[in-house]
């Protein structure tokens, strides 16, 4: 590998690393109440398998400290801080399908170069706040393991599956669990490793919090069906765990088991192993390809089945873990590249989908605080180059995630696998976010809008994975962004929850409120919301021009002089024997043809009529003809919109004719709103005493304007009304301010000229003319029609009025499930003639 490539990646990763380093003092990880607990390490994590880390850290054959540091920086920057690492291989070098160089050449005889490589690796990981799972043995031939211990115990030469076959290999290594001499050699190895002192840091391994856990072996298996062998296997694991704990009481111990699949297919067998009090958490591995859930030609077609089997496998082991209150770590899983290719740069579509699902499970567990606590994918190939000739590893090749007995690139995730890396990084970021304290403003007793004399209690509910003290700051600014104040509080989490109350006494208006967690001077945003205080006292004086009333009287006169020439075009596909649907075409102000959708009950009689005004650029939606059988419904399409929009026509209506009040688009649109009342009232079946209107956004504005200009409307329900208080509106919202201000500049209009023209169409200048009851809905988080502007018009309404605020809603009030109910209850009064 070229050093330029290493240091290029290192530079990028280091920049990310500096931004993510933690200053917290390292601490040991332990299990409490089914969770990993530590002062400096999360309860849930995404990690990887980095079996060759100690070799890279060495200064002998295979060593490459520059690459090691680059790999660690990259992993840290991607959020992978839990690395599962082989302490070292066993036996002589130069054995086909075995990693080289090995650590233990003969029983108790060590290659100290590899040990010092492990020391260096742990020291470098400590600097980056990373944790290591160190496994000490292996069922499989690729690091020596069982076979070498048996060979040293006099049981014959260690076999290689590729040479003798899988079954012969399994029969050979099945003798390990009952061979006392082989197990004693391994126990001596455990004593030697666990008792070691790091030559780089001078710290004994047992005192090094960089070690997450000691692991007995990689996929320890019994390889036997007899009860004697199985009990010997359980006894060996339990006694080894106890030995490690006696040498090092500070660290956790894990088994390294695959789960049921590595316990002769028996879940109770796996449970028996992990019932050991000295085994702190439970391990499982999942291999869809190795276990034949997918094969070379079915990597994509059987992917869904592999995911289904994965969920079943995880869940059945979690059910056992619940009995013991122990976390579960899926410490190995992998998936081949598309079309069973091995080369870097080849597609990983199926792998990415599989990873996304598995990592999604750990993200969900982090959110819920579940026992599924960690994943380590297999394995990190990182910056490794690939041989152009060797499918299997040969001495001198770069180490990657695939050990010597597997095709190089089979399961490795390389740094250049950008889509897979993105999936992993995203999961790590989502876990980090999920594990931070979560906060939510509590609006159980209000809707985020406070009325009456202050101070008012603003409550925040908090959740955390840890019970600890926390410092909070609430920054409050006006909706225009002007700072108001910063309010600090300290809280104590108990049983994962806390409640914090801020007492605020603020002037009438709406405010932006951002809650921060403060740690060592750094602030992390937890949540934000808008808050309202006494909105009915917001002052937004009308700015009517002297000829405002005359202008609209003239407009209405011109409209009245225009014959509507109604055309009712039957829509049979939207009609039945309850109501008939029609497309209505009619002439409006200036002779413009506008249209709408009309439903009329078939039965004779007088009916209430509902006019609906549409939002800016909305499309017509068709109701079922039986949905409102006792109601005439008319949905107006104002000029140039919906039914009236020509193919390819721009949605620049808010700037059309802006240079003059007589030509501005909304003069005609407001007249269209009145023409809709003319249409409804012209119908023989309409009860003129029961005509009402509603609309959202632009439709909310037209609802208010129509009721101001035409008192035949008896009740209205606007939501998130548009076009209120233009000056404040344009200071608060990017749209339509942007295009309107740009059009004014293009037309050479001064600011005074612009706002004088717009004042003829400002909803707040109409609403003092309304004579009917009003109910208005607003979204507290609305950035399109901010609530401040909604009340600019509302506060000038002289009649009976009320409002509803939806605290979590933005500009989608009409989607709130309670609004249709509230609106219907309001209109039922009108329908039943209670007004």
Catalytic center residues: 697, 782, 811
Give the Cα separation of 760 and 552 in Å (integer): 9
Burial 516-532 (b: 16+ CB within 10 A, else e): bbeeeeeeeebbebbbb
Give the Cα separation of 254 and 85 in Å (integer): 13
The interaxial angle of helices 180-194 and 145-152, nearest 10 deg, is: 120
Burial 398-436 (b: 16+ CB within 10 A, else e): bbbbbbbbbbbbbbbbbbebeebbebbbbbbebbbebbb
Give the Cα separation of 534 and 606 in Å (integer): 42
Sign of torsion over alpha carbons 262, 265, 269, 271: positive
Which among 400, 287, 412 is positioned nearest to 345, based on CA atoms? 412
Q: Are 225 and 264 in contact (CB under 8 A)?
A: yes
Q: Are 634 and 586 in contact (CB under 8 A)?
A: no
The interaxial angle of helices 3-20 and 65-77, nearest 10 deg, is: 40
Give the Cα separation of 607 and 595 in Å (integer): 22
Judged by DSSP in three states, 420 sits in: helix
Give the Cα separation of 92 and 106 in Å (integer): 8
Judged by DSSP in three states, 568 sits in: strand
Structure tokens at 130: 């990373």
Q: What is the phi-psi region of residue 259: left when phi exceeds 0, alpha when psi lies from -120 to 50, beta otherwise?
A: left
Per this entry, what is the length of the chain?
835
The separation between the first and the last C-alpha atoms of the chain, rounded to the nearest angstrom, is 84
Which among 9, 16, 1 is positioned nearest to 429, based on CA atoms? 16
Give the Cα separation of 206 and 242 in Å (integer): 15
The DSSP secondary structure of 184-235, one letter per residue, reads HHHHHHHHHHHT-B-TTT--BGGG-TTEEEEES-BS------SHHHHHHHHH
Burial of 686 (0-12, 13-18, 19+ CB in 10 A): buried
Q: Are 515 and 498 in contact (CB under 8 A)?
A: no
The DSSP secondary structure of 697-749, one letter per residue, reads THHHHHHHHHHHH-TT--EEEEES-SS-SHHHHHHH-STTHHHHHHHHHHTT-
Burial of 514 (0-12, 13-18, 19+ CB in 10 A): middle
Give the phi and the psi of residue 670 in degrees, each rounded to 5.
-65, -35
Burial 244-270 (b: 16+ CB within 10 A, else e): bbebbebbbbbbbbbbbbbbbeeeebb
The two beta strands, 104-106 and 372-377, are unpaired
Sign of torsion over alpha carbons 531, 536, 538, 542: positive
* Cα angle: 647, vertex 650, 651; to 5 degrees: 115
Which segments of 215-333 does DSSP mark as H helices, in order?
227-247, 267-274, 303-324
DSSP letter at 26? P
């Amino acid at each position: 590998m070229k050093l330029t490539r290493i240091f290029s990646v290192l530079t990028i990763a280091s920049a990310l690393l500096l931004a993510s380093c933690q200053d917290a003092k390292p601490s040991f990880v332990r299990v409490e109440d089914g969770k990993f607990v530590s002062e400096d390490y999360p309860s849930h994590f995404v990690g990887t398998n980095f079996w060759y880390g100690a070799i890279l850290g060495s200064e002998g054959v295979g060593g490459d400290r520059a690459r090691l540091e680059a790999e660690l920086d990259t992993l840290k920057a991607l959020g992978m801080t839990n690395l599962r690492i082989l302490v070292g291989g066993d036996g002589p070098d130069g054995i086909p399908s075995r990693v080289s160089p090995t650590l233990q050449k003969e029983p108790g005889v060590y290659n100290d170069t590899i040990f010092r490589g492990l020391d260096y690796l742990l020291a470098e990981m400590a600097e980056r706040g990373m944790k290591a799972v160190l496994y000490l043995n292996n069922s499989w031939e690729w690091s020596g393991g069982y076979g070498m211990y048996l060979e040293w115990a006099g049981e014959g030469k260690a076999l290689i599956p590729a040479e003798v076959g899988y079954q012969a290999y399994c029969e050979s290594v099945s003798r390990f669990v009952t061979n006392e001499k082989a197990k004693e050699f391994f126990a001596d190895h455990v004593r030697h490793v666990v008792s070691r002192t790091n030559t780089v840091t001078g710290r004994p391994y047992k005192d090094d919090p960089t070690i997450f856990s000691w692991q007995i072996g990689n996929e320890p298996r019994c390889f036997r069906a007899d009860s004697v062998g199985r009990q010997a296997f359980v006894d060996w694991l339990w006694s080894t765990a106890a030995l490690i704990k006696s040498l090092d009481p500070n660290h956790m111990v894990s088994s390294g088991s695959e789960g049921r699949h590595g316990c002769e297919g028996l879940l109770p067998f796996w449970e028996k192993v992990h019932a050991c009090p000295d085994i702190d958490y439970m391990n499982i591995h999942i291999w869809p390809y190795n276990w034949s859930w997918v094969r070379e030609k079915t990597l994509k077609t059987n992917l869904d089945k592999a995911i289904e089997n994965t969920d079943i496998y995880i869940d059945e082991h979690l059910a056992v873990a619940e009995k013991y209150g122990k976390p579960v770590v899926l410490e190995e899983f992998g998936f081949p590249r598309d079309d069973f290719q091995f080369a870097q740069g080849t597609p990983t579509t199926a792998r990415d989908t599989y990873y996304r699902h598995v990592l999604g499970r750990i993200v969900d567990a982090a959110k819920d605080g579940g026992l599924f606590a960690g994943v380590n994918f297999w394995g990190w190939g990182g910056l490794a180059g690939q041989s152009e000739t060797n499918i299997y590893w040969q001495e001198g090749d770069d180490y990657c995630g695939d050990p010597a007995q597997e095709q190089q690139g089979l399961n490795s995730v390389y740094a250049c696998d950008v889509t897979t890396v993105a999936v992993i990084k995203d999961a790590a970021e989502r876990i980090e976010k999920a594990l931070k304290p979560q906060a939510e403003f509590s609006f159980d007793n209000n809707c985020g809008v406070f009325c009456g004399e202050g101070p008012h209690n603003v409550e925040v509910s908090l959740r955390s994975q840890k019970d600890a003290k926390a410092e909070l700051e609430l920054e409050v600014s006006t909706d225009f962004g002007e700072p108001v104040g910063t309010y600090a509080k300290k809280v104590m989490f108990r049983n994962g929850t806390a409640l914090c109350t801020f007492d605020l006494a603020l002037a009438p208006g709406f405010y932006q409120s951002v809650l921060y967690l403060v740690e060592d001077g750094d602030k992390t945003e937890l949540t934000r919301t808008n808050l309202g205080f006494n909105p009915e006292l917001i002052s937004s004086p009308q700015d009517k021009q002297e000829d405002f009333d005359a202008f609209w009287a003239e407009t209405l006169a011109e409209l009245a002089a225009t014959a509507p020439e109604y055309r009712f075009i039957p829509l049979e596909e939207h009609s039945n024997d309850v109501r008939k649907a029609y497309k209505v075409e009619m002439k409006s102000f200036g002779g413009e043809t506008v249209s709408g959708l009309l439903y009329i009950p078939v039965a004779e009689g007088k009916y209430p009529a509902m006019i609906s005004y549409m939002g800016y650029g909305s499309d017509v939606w068709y109701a079922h003809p039986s949905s409102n059988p006792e109601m005439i419904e008319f949905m107006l399409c104002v000029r140039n919109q919906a039914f009236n929009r020509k193919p390819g026509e721009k949605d620049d209506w808010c700037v059309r004719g802006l240079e003059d009040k007589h030509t501005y688009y909304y003069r005609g649109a407001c007249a269209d709103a009145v023409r809709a009342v003319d249409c409804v009232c012209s119908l023989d079946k309409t009860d003129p005493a029961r005509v009402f209107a509603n609309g959202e956004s632009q439709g909310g504005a037209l609802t208010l304007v129509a009721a101001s200009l035409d008192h035949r409307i008896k009740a209205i329900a606007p939501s998130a009304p548009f076009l209120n208080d233009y000056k404040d509106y344009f200071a608060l919202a990017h749209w339509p301010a942007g295009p309107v201000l740009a059009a004014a500049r293009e037309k050479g209009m001064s600011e005074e000229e612009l706002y004088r023209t717009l004042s003829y169409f400002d909803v707040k200048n109409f609403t003092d003319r309304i004579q009917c009851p009003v109910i208005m809905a607003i979204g507290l988080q609305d950035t399109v029609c901010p609530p401040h502007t909604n009340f600019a018009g509302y506060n000038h309404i002289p009649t009976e009025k009320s409002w509803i605020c939806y605290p979590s809603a933005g500009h989608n009030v009409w989607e709130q499930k309670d609004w249709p109910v509230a609106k219907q209850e309001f209109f039922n009064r009108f329908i039943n003639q209670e007004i």
